[in-house]
Amino acid sequence: MSIRLSREKINFLSRQILDALFEEDQVEFFDESNEIRLSIVKSIEEEMKLYDLLDKKAIKKIEGQKKSIKIGSREWEILYRKYYNEEISKLGKFFD
């Protein structure tokens, strides 16, 4: 269920973000542009890992149900969204 981004897509996104930041007059840079881009790449990768972990937790909860729920079924999709959103909510409480 989780979204995967290729290295090329992550690099593309990091360049797009960096370009957008360079267009902002209110943003001041203290590092070389490539160092900033690499920090953006790292942030994207860490975020993707976090959402992959949430995905795995949601799936594990579904698999832990007493009755077997077929992957891809309407019930599975509903439970997945419910459990995934619960995990995201827990993160919000953690960062508050």
In a domain, 1, yes or no: no
Domain residues for the domain of 22 are 7-95
In a domain, 78, yes or no: yes
What three-state secondary structure class fits 49?
helix
Q: Which residue has the tokens 């860490």?
A: 46
Write down how long the chain is.
Answer: 96
Output the pLDDT for position 91.
82
In a domain, 60, yes or no: yes
pLDDT (tens, 9 = 90+) of the chain, 96 residues, equals: 667 889 999 999 999 999 999 998 888 889 999 999 999 999 999 999 999 999 999 999 999 999 999 999 999 999 999 999 999 998 876 665
Please tell me the total count of domains within the chain.
1
pLDDT digits (tens, 9 = 90+) for 40-61: 999 999 999 999 999 999 999 9
In a domain, 2, yes or no: no
Sign of CA dihedral 88, 89, 94, 96: positive
Rounded to the nearest angstrom, the gap between the alpha carbon of residue 72 and the centroid of all alpha carbons in its chain is 21
Across the chain, what does the average pLDDT equal?
91
In a domain, 73, yes or no: yes
In a domain, 49, yes or no: yes
